[in-house]
Structure 1
Amino acid sequence: MPVPLPRFDTLSPGALAIAKVPGDWPFGIADAVRFNELDVLNHANNAAYVSWLENVRIAYFMDYGITDYVSEDRPTIVMRNLEIDFREPLHLAERYVVTARSVEYGRSSWRMENAIFRDGAVAATATCILVTTTPDGRAAAPLRPGIIEAITTRDGARPRG
Structure 2
Amino acid sequence: MNLRYHTPLSPDEQRAFGLAAPQPLALADRVRFAELDVLRHVNNKAYMTWFETLRVVYGDLFTLPLYPSDSPPPRVVIRSGHVHYVEEMRMGEDYVTTAGVTAFRNTSYTMHQELWAAGRLRASFDCVIVTLLPDGSGRYPLPEAVRAHFARVDGAVAEG
TM-score by length of 2: 0.91
Q: What per-residue deviation string (whole Å, max 9, x for no partner) do you get for residues 124-158 of structure 1?
A: 01101110111111322211212112111111101
- Are the aligned partners of 2:114 and 2:125 in contact in 1 as well (CA < 8 Å)? yes
Partners of 2:136 and 2:17 in 1: how far apart?
Answer: 38
Which amino acid in the other structure matches residue 6 of structure 1? Answer: R
Q: CA deviation at 1:77?
A: 0.9
Which ranges in structure 2 are unaligned for 5 or more consecutive residues?
none
Q: What per-residue deviation string (whole Å, max 9, x for no partner) do you get for residues 11-46 of structure 1?
A: 111111111112252321000111000011111111
Show the counterpart of 1:26: 24
For 1:67, what is the secondary structure of its paired residue? helix
Please give the residue correspondences for 1:28-43 in structure 2 after superposition, counting only pairs within 5 Å.
28-43=26-41
Q: CA deviation at 1:60?
A: 1.2
Partners of 1:105 and 1:132 in 2: how far apart?
Answer: 11
Show the counterpart of 1:56: 54
Which deviates the most, 43-52 or 24-33? 24-33
- Are the aligned partners of 1:10 and 1:59 in contact in 2 as well (CA < 8 Å)? no
Partners of 2:159 and 2:20 in 1: how far apart?
Answer: 24
Is 1:94 paired with 2:93?
A: yes
Which amino acid in the other structure matches residue 54 of structure 1? Answer: E
Partners of 1:87 and 1:25 in 2: how far apart?
Answer: 19
Is 1:128 paired with 2:127?
A: yes
For 2:64, what is the secondary structure of its paired residue? coil
Partners of 1:148 and 1:75 in 2: how far apart?
Answer: 15
Give the alignment's Cα RMSD to 1 decimal.
1.4
Judged with a 3 Å threshold, the aligned counterparts in structure 2 of structure 1 residues 22 and 63 are, in CA distance, closer, same or farther, namely farther
Show the counterpart of 2:64: 67
- Are the aligned partners of 2:19 and 2:116 in contact in 1 as well (CA < 8 Å)? yes
- Displaced runs of 4 or more, over 6 A: none
Please give the residue correspondences for 1:107-146 in structure 2 after superposition, counting only pairs within 5 Å.
107-146=106-145
Show the counterpart of 1:14: 12
Which ranges in structure 1 are unaligned for 5 or more consecutive residues?
none
TM-score by length of 1: 0.91
Partners of 1:94 and 1:140 in 2: how far apart?
Answer: 40
- Are the aligned partners of 1:38 and 1:44 in contact in 2 as well (CA < 8 Å)? yes
